[in-house]
A and B are shown apart, each in its own frame.
Chain A
Amino acid sequence: MIAAQLITAAHSVVLAEETEQNPLLPETYDIVWSFVIVVVVGVVFMRYVLPKFQAVLDERTEKIEGGLAQAETAQAEAAAALAEYHQQLQEAREEAAKIREEARTEGGAIVADLRAKASDDASRIVETAHRQIEAERQQAAVSLRSEVGSLATELASKIVGESLEDAARQSRVVDRFLDQLEHAGTTSAASGTNGQEG
């Protein structure tokens, strides 16, 4: 309707101007140049401008998608690495704990072993010492017994001399000596054991 009004308006103007130009009827040159212009613009746009922009847009999309994919991969890799690291850490911890535990048991065993060995050694040494002491004591006792007897006899004979020649006197002296010895033996035995213990 607007167009119709416009046309009537245009007509009145045209009539007022007393020209015969009708704006709805194109001039030949108008069509010719319009055609040329539209063809040129169309060709340049559709053959060059728009494909170029499209190529850039496509490239950008590709790049962004590639970048996103890459980022995703990188993230996945990082996550995997982190998991692996954690696992390794865990494993290392477990291993360390195991080693520590082993070391502790081993150490305990070694200590116990050594202790046993030391106590064995000690008891052996003690036994050896005891045996040696016993042997020496016996040896001493043996040598004493033999020497004391002879020494005593010798000493007694020296002290008593020939007076012991007759049998009666001799037996009396011997008896007396034995009595004394017996008497001294009991006391010295008591003091002797005391001394040995001390």
Chain B
Amino acid sequence: MFTLATTQILAAESDGFHAPSISDFFPPAIFFDGTAFEINRIMLVRFIAAIALLTIFVIGARRAKLVPGRFQNLLELGLDFCRRQITYEILGEQLGKKYVPLITTIFFAVFFFNVTGIVPFLNVAGTSVIGLPIIFALWVFVMYLAAGFKRFGFGGFFKHALFPPGVPKVLYLLLTPVEFLQVFLLRPATLVIRLFANMLAGHLLLALCFAATSYLFFEASGAIKVAGVVTLAGGFAFFLLEAFVAALQAYVFAILTAVYIQMSVEAEH
């Protein structure tokens, strides 16, 4: 699907219409050009998403009452989902209690930064540039290492994670490097890439569909205009898909956070 999209992009480019490209994710700076604090369009989108997220939840928390209204019910539904369907489901209630805030925060933050990809005028997911997924993944990485250290002690965790008990010693030659890669590289890296790649691809697909629609409707000649209807319908379908993906990726990120913590603290692999 991606290669197809890419060839379309490349093919379309020769026609001279604005095809979506990777440079979309590196827009020109708006403030502080060239410094470590450079702010471009995507950074602004992230600020907006963060402000929206905080505004909604701070207002919700400030107005939180014993007898909830409609708004509070909706927020509590989301919080309860994170608590029960994600955290307790994986970690159990006793252990999970400690990690509910972490997992809830990650779920809502990732979801809000994802969903900007389908918000009109924002049109790009905050997580479609790799920095934000990296920070989230590092947070999770630190948390699951800390959980392991707390459970087994510093050396104990390494021993437990890298030399899983109940395995013939010879197998450690094979197992230990794999486990090392798993714990210290693959888990955080897959978290980053899964989220970032999904969002980036989603943006490319949406942008392609709408760019093509615009081109076909306004610049193509004659009967080819009709094809614009197809690309518009495709864009609408991808819009719905992206809404789903935004929620799904947030769910996946949160649930993997719980799973990795569980893997760090469980007695046996």
Contacts and interface: CB of A to CB of B under 8 A. Distances in A.
Contact of B22 (A19, A28, A29, A45): A19
Interface stretch (A4-12, A85-93, A124-132, A175-183): A4-12
Nearest to B61: A52
B131 A34 contact: yes
Given A21-B23, A34-B46, A48 B61 contact: yes
A16, A23, A34, A35 interface centre (most CB from chain B within 10 Å): A34
A41 B66 contact: no
Interface string B61-86: 11011100000000110010000000
A56 B25 contact: no
Contacts of B54: 40-41, 44
Given A37-B46, A41-B105, A49-B61, A30 B2 contact: no
B104 interface: yes
A29 B131 CA distance: 9
B243 interface: no
Interface string B1-32: 01101100110010000000111011000001
A167 interface: no
A63 interface: yes
Nearest to A33: B43
Interface residues of B, number: 57
Contacts of A33: 37, 39, 43, 46, 131
Q: Classify the secondary structure of B's interface with A.
A: helix
B134 A34 contact: yes
B131 A46 contact: no
A26 B134 CA distance: 9
Contact of A23 (B35, B129, B194): B129
B175 interface: no
Interface in A183-197: none
A13 B6 contact: yes
Contact of A29 (B13, B38, B47): B38
A82 to B, nearest CB: 32
B10 A16 contact: yes
B60 interface: yes
By secondary structure, the A interface counts as helix
Interface residues of A, number: 47
A35 B35 contact: no
B61 A9 contact: no
Interface string B128-156: 01111011100100000000000000000
Given A29-B35, A29-B38, A50-B101, A37 B132 contact: yes
Nearest to B31: A29
Contacts of B193: 3, 24
A31 B25 CA distance: 14
B229 interface: no
Nearest to B62: A52
A159 interface: no
B38 A49 contact: no
Contacts of B139: 38, 42
Interface string B40-61: 1001001100100110011011
A5 B13 CA distance: 20
Please provide the 6 A-B residue pairs with the shortest distance between their CB atoms, ordered closest to farther: A30-B131, A52-B61, A29-B38, A9-B6, A34-B131, A45-B105
Given A23-B196, A49-B58, 15 more contacts: A9-B3, A12-B6, A13-B10, A17-B22, A21-B23, A23-B129, A27-B131, A31-B135, A32-B37, A37-B50, A38-B136, A44-B54, A53-B64, A53-B76, A55-B64
